[in-house]
Amino acid sequence: MPARAFVDCHSHVVPSGDDGARNVGEGVALCRDAVASGTRLLYATPHVWPDLRMHEARERRFREAAAELAALVEGLELRIGFELTPDRSLLDDDPRRYRLEGTAVCLVETPFSGGLATFFAVAEHVESAGLTPLIAHPERSLSLVGTPGHRDALLERDWPLQITASSLTGRSGADSEALAWRLLGDYDRVVVASDGHGHHRPARLDAAWAAVSERLGSEIAARAFGGAILGVAPATADAARPAASS
């Protein structure tokens, strides 16, 4: 992977009614910042929450906004995906509608607190559909930070993990930072993504990439910030591409 051709598989740069970009203008600013810091392939992954489902009208507005945004940003390939908050209602959905575009991967977030039973049920439902659950920000889950047995149960599944870039630089606290580095160093199926939401958490990977390159070496950095684990790579480094339907 070239030093500056990052693949970022988790962001909220396209307005969708969640807590990410509030309008296309904010999304454009986030995307241009991502390009300037080395990202060439970026997934917009709006939340699918129990109280904010991805109904037909919301998805249509999201896809329209994604296409509009992509046309305004040069040097970036913007793709569509979704971030699933574990909820029993998802067990009645076809997970294939939520996959990261161009992959057989579905982004499932770990709950920040509480039990993990529903999380495991949703991830296993994704797997039963022939997809691979990509586990979002496990280092920020109190259940995983504080309970080694829960971490062991997760790692036994051999699912790829997605670490948030700012966790590696200490933004999420010392415990999350320590777990993020431990997972990245000990487990070879870890990708780093921005989970970019706004100015408080931009869609940038450069600082984390520099830290990982220095601490763990270029091989691990290439694996974590490229798209090999997801089976993708940027189409180009110098031409934007409109977001396509999955």
Q: What is the CATH number of domain 6-225?
A: 3.20.20.140
**Mean pLDDT for all residues in the chain:** 92
**Prediction pTM value:** 0.92
Query: Per-residue pLDDT tens for 212-221?
Result: 999 999 999 9
CB 95, CB 106: distance < 8 Å: yes
Query: Per-residue pLDDT tens for 223-234?
Result: 999 999 999 987
Q: What is the mean pLDDT of residues 100-117?
A: 94
pLDDT band at 235 (very low <50, low <70, confident <90, very high): low
Phi and psi torsions of 133, nearest 5°: -75, 130
Among 45, 102, 36, smallest CA distance to 73 is for 36
Rounded distance between C-alpha atoms, residue 9 and residue 192, angstroms: 8
For tokens 């100015």, name the residue: 199
The alpha helices in the chain, defined as continuous H runs, are: 24-36, 56-72, 117-128, 142-145, 148-155, 165-168, 174-186, 206-216, 218-225
